[in-house]
Chain A
Amino acid sequence: MLSRGVPLAQVTLASDSPGNVVNVEMEGGTAEVTLGHTGPVKLEAVPASAGLKVKLHQFDLRALALERYSDVQQALNEASWNGRDDLAEAVLKATSDEELARVPKSRDGQWALARLCEEVTSGYVSDEEHKQAQRVLRAWAQHVGLERFSRAVEDKRTKVFPVRKSGPTVRAPVSPAVRASPDGLKVSLSSKVAEYPEWQALKETHFHIPYDEVVGVRLYDAGGAVRYVPALFLVEVSNAEERNTLQKCGEMFALGLTLGLGGGAGAGGAAASTLAWCDRAAVGLGLLLSVVDDHRGEILERYGEEGARFLQATDVLASLVAFYGLGRVAVALPRAVQGLRQAYLGMKASKAALSSDEVLLGRIGHGVDELLDQAEKASKGGEVIPIERARKPNLPPAVEEQPLRATGTDVRLVPLGQQSAGPRAVASPGGGKPPTPLSPAAPSLQGTRPAGAGKASAPRPSTELGAAKGEGRAGRLWGTWDGYPKVTVGGREYAQIGERLYTRHAVERMMPRGLTTEGRSMSPNLVEDAIREGTSSRVVVDGVERTIFRSGSVEVVTEQGGKLVISVNPFKY
């Protein structure tokens, strides 16, 4: 080890000892050498140069993991001011998630963790440092627990701190100044806070906040979104010197924090390329937040109290999902998910929709539906998708175009180009008529049902669609649009359920009530029964022939004799 060409010390490391850190501080005629290590190591002095004293310190980077918190404190105290962030980062990196989760359980651990968090978020924050800070927050949130966290976010007494970083156009910047102490955070606000609505509830400028407390942060630089966080997040807020740094903090709520991968999400840089995977739940949340955060002012202006309620429900859910994952929230706190839906419906119903409203409401509604859809899936053990899809939630999933599948009585179609050399696939129209070769073009109505001229007519004839034969009810799963395989016909996308193709509208109307606004709790099997057992009539609507099947109060509107299900109505009559 050399400093300015002068040998200071000799370090002997084991070959399997990665992540070691050396810090050298020169003061006067003394060189302080601190070695942070993770394994067997030997630090030895070498003959000092004339006039230079060398002091050697060793520190086990695993001290936090081994619950030797006083060692952590001592190492931070002894490290030079510009080397502490590197040391803190190295300590956190040397601590596994499981070990980190244990730390907040003791008072000394909390204090040590707060200091480490303070160091990794101070000054310029690298992507790696940001990532480590998020790990700390996540561990802290797990320590607080979902139930207690959710109680706090619903409690009107929970402190909400306004944050607006300084800038050329900002008249009243405000941001908490925070200092970690052994028993909590010392938070102070400038007198500018009195210009913000949060002042009405805060009423003070100096606070002592225990580490276990949950607080809210209103990010005025991010449209005024409120995010509820473990109090330790205030340290990061306080240290964020620039708006974009803070925005980077805010973005974690949309992507990745639940997996501890949020560093650099949306910020580009090296870390972004290392983010390989993300919780699929982030798709729904990201989609919703991107719309809501861009239109907060508009939502409040147009929808008043109902709009404010919706924003609050969004903020609460975003905070909970960020720390606990959508699946866990959906299972343990379904009211938080349903609360968002109710708030959306309330907002939607509060004002007659003009065409300009429809666009915004439609986008928000799509986001809410997507999130609820993901909540349902996540609660059953959500899947993992590439981060790229999470970042671009509006992109439709890739659809592989396939020809239609068999609808004949006793034949099956195979995709074009995969026919066997045997007899050509044909569809039998039944009724003793000769079979007709099938083509990939939309087939004409099959079967011998007489035209009903718009009136209910004969019961379903015996010529049934292929789905009816040899396919159990299990082949028609009741799910969401995203969950079904897709088939594109004539440029339009359909969900394949059993042997029939459903429009998105039909699938959404079939959804269980309560999950979507349009859902009418109509399973695919009920649709199937109506088609198979009900009466039918045919109408031509603007040049398109449609067959309507009716059974009791159920109506199913189809094309191509039942092959394409256009809409369903369980309570028509």
Chain B
Amino acid sequence: MITHPHIKLILDSARQYREQQLGIEGLQQNLSAVMSALEGDVAKEIHDALRKAEAWVDSIRFTVNEADRPAEVGRVLDELEGIVRRFYR
């Protein structure tokens, strides 16, 4: 079970987004907050993945039709979660 609060926030946010409890803006804010909080305090792979995911989510917000966003964001989150779970089994 993952107990690291920031990593947990990433996974919880991803789940909440998929369950439509969290909008894309809230998801991005959470990723931004975790990214800032984890600066220098987490494996580089995770931080890079987080940084990339946050940028992609922001990009999707403004460049993808609303109806298509969940699928696009889902792919980004799949990749991010995959990397995170490799470090926190």
**B-binding residues in A (CB < 8 A):** 306, 342, 345-346, 348-355, 358, 509, 513-514, 517-518, 539, 541-542, 546, 548, 555, 557, 566-567, 569-572
The one of B9, B26, B55 that contacts A358, using a Cβ cutoff of 8 Å = B26
The residues in B between 23 and 58 inclusive whose CB is less than 8 angstroms from any CB of A are 26, 29-30, 32-34, 36-37, 39, 51-52, 55-56, 58
Kindly state the separation between the CA atoms of A555 and B22 in the bound complex, as whole angstroms.
25
- Chain B, Cβ-Cβ closest to A503: B62
B8 to chain A, nearest CB (A): 7
Q: A345-B37, A349-B5, A513-B36 are in contact. Are A355 and B22 (CB under 8 A)?
A: yes
Determine if A352 and B51 form an interchain contact, defined as CB atoms under 8 angstroms apart: no
Residues of chain A with a CB closer than 8 A to B65's CB: 541-542
Interface centre among A350, A353, A546 (most CB of B within 10 A): A353
Q: Are A557 and B63 in contact (CB under 8 A)?
A: yes
B63 touches which of A349, A517, A539 (Cβ 8 Å) = A539
Q: A349-B33, A542-B66, A546-B63 are in contact. Are A355 and B55 (CB under 8 A)?
A: no
Closest Cβ–Cβ distance, residue B37 to chain A (whole Å): 4
Q: Please state if B36 and A345 are interface contacts (CB–CB under 8 Å).
A: yes
- Contacts A/B (CB < 8 Å), 5 sampled: A348-B30, A517-B32, A539-B63, A567-B59, A570-B55
Rounded to whole Å, the gap between the CB of B17 and the closest CB of chain A is 10
Partner of B29, one of A353, A355, A571: A353
- A377 vs B9: C-alpha distance when bound (angstroms): 33
Q: Which of B21, B37, B58, B66 contacts A354 (CB 8 A)?
A: B21
Kindly state whether residue B64 has any CB partner on chain A within 8 Å. Answer: yes
What is the distance, in angstroms, from A125's C-beta to the closest C-beta of chain B? 44
Q: In the complex, A557→B16 CA distance in Å?
A: 27
Tell whether, in the assembled complex, residue A352 and residue B9 are in contact, meaning their CB atoms are under 8 Å apart: yes
Q: Is the CB of A555 within 8 A of B59?
A: yes
- CB neighbours of B34 from chain A (8 A): 349
B36 in contact with A572 (CB, 8 Å) = no
Find chain B residues with CB under 8 A from A555 CB: 55, 59
In the assembled complex, which residues on chain A have CB atoms less than 8 Å from the CB atom of B51?
Answer: 571
- Chain A residues contacting B56 (CB-CB under 8 Å) are 572
* CB-defined contacts of A548 to chain B, threshold 8 Å: 63
A349→B64 CA distance, assembly (Å): 27
Asked whether A557 lies within 8 Å of B9 as measured between CB atoms, the reply is no
Closest to B11 in A: A352
Known: A355-B21, A541-B63, A557-B62. A517 touches B55 (CB 8 A): no
Q: How far, in whole Å, are A546 and B62 apart by their CA atoms in the complex?
A: 8
Beta-carbon contact of B21 and A509 below 8 Å? no
CB pair B33–A348 under 8 Å, yes or no, is yes
Q: Does B18 lie at the interface of the complex (its beta carbon under 8 Å from any beta carbon of A)?
A: no
With the chains together, A348 CA to B33 CA distance in Å?
7
Nearest A residue to B8, CB-CB: A352
CB neighbours of A306 from chain B (8 A): 5
Q: Is the CB of B36 within 8 A of A567?
A: no
For the complex of A and B, the 5 pairs showing the least CB-CB separation, nearest first, are A352-B12, A569-B55, A345-B37, A348-B33, A557-B62
Q: Do residues B5 and A517 form an inter-chain contact, with CB atoms below 8 A? A: no
Query: Inside 8 A of A513's CB, which chain B residues have their CB?
Result: 36, 39
Q: A353-B22, A358-B26, A572-B55 are in contact. Are A566 and B32 (CB under 8 A)?
A: no
* Cα distance A509–B25 in the bound complex, in angstroms: 13
Q: Is the CB of A571 within 8 A of B55?
A: yes
Knowing A548-B63, A557-B63, A571-B55 touch, does A349 contact B29 (C-beta < 8 A)? no
A518 touches B32 (CB 8 A): yes
Q: Closest approach, in angstroms, between the C-beta of A513 and any C-beta of chain B?
A: 7
B33 touching A571, Cβ below 8 Å: no
A216 to chain B minimum Cβ distance, whole angstroms, is 28
Residues of A within 8 A of B33 (CB): 345, 348-349, 517
Q: A349: which B residues are within 8 A, CB to CB?
A: 5-6, 9, 30, 33-34, 37
Q: Mark B62-74, 1 if CB is under 8 A from A, else 0.
A: 1111100000000
* A517–B59 touching, CB < 8 Å: no
Q: Give chain A residues whose Cβ lies under 8 Å from the Cβ of B55.
A: 555, 569-572
CA distance A293 to B8 in the complex (A): 28
A345, A351, A355 interface centre (most CB from chain B within 10 Å): A345
Residue numbers in B under 8 Å from A518 (CB-CB): 29, 32
Given A355-B21, A358-B26, A517-B29, verify A557-B13 contact (CB < 8 Å). Answer: no
Determine the chain A residues whose CB is within 8 A of the CB of B8 once the complex forms: 352
Residue of B nearest to A553 (CB): B55
CB of A517 within 8 A of CB of B9, answer no
- Additional A-B contacts beyond A345-B37, A557-B62, A557-B63 (14; CB < 8 A): A348-B30, A349-B6, A349-B9, A352-B8, A353-B16, A353-B26, A353-B30, A509-B58, A513-B39, A517-B36, A539-B63, A541-B62, A541-B63, A567-B62
In the bound complex, what is the Cα–Cα distance between A346 and B41 (angstroms)? Answer: 13
State the CA gap A286–B50 with chains docked (Å): 34
| B9: A residues at CB distance < 8 A | 349-352
Contacts of A570 in B (CB 8 A): 55
Write the chain B residue with the least CB distance to A350.
Answer: B5
Whole-angstrom CA separation of A539 from B63 in the bound complex: 7
CB distance from A538 to the nearest CB of B (A): 10
Chain B residues, Cβ within 8 Å of A567: 58-59, 61-62
Least CB distance from B11 to A in Å reads 9
| CB-nearest residue of chain A to B9 | A349
Q: Closest chain B residue to A518 by CB distance?
A: B32
The CA-CA distance from A570 to B56 in the complex, in Å, is 11
Q: How far is the CA of A353 from the CA of B26 in the complex (A)?
A: 8
Least Cβ–Cβ distance between B36 and chain A, in angstroms? 5
> Measured between C-beta atoms, what is the minimum distance from B66 to chain A in Å?
6
B16: A residues at CB distance < 8 A = 352-354
A166 to B36, CA, bound (A): 45
Which B residues lie within 8 Å of A572 (CB)? 52, 55-56, 59
Minimum CB–CB distance for A127 against chain B, Å:
43
Name the distance in Å between B63's Cβ and chain A's nearest Cβ.
Answer: 6
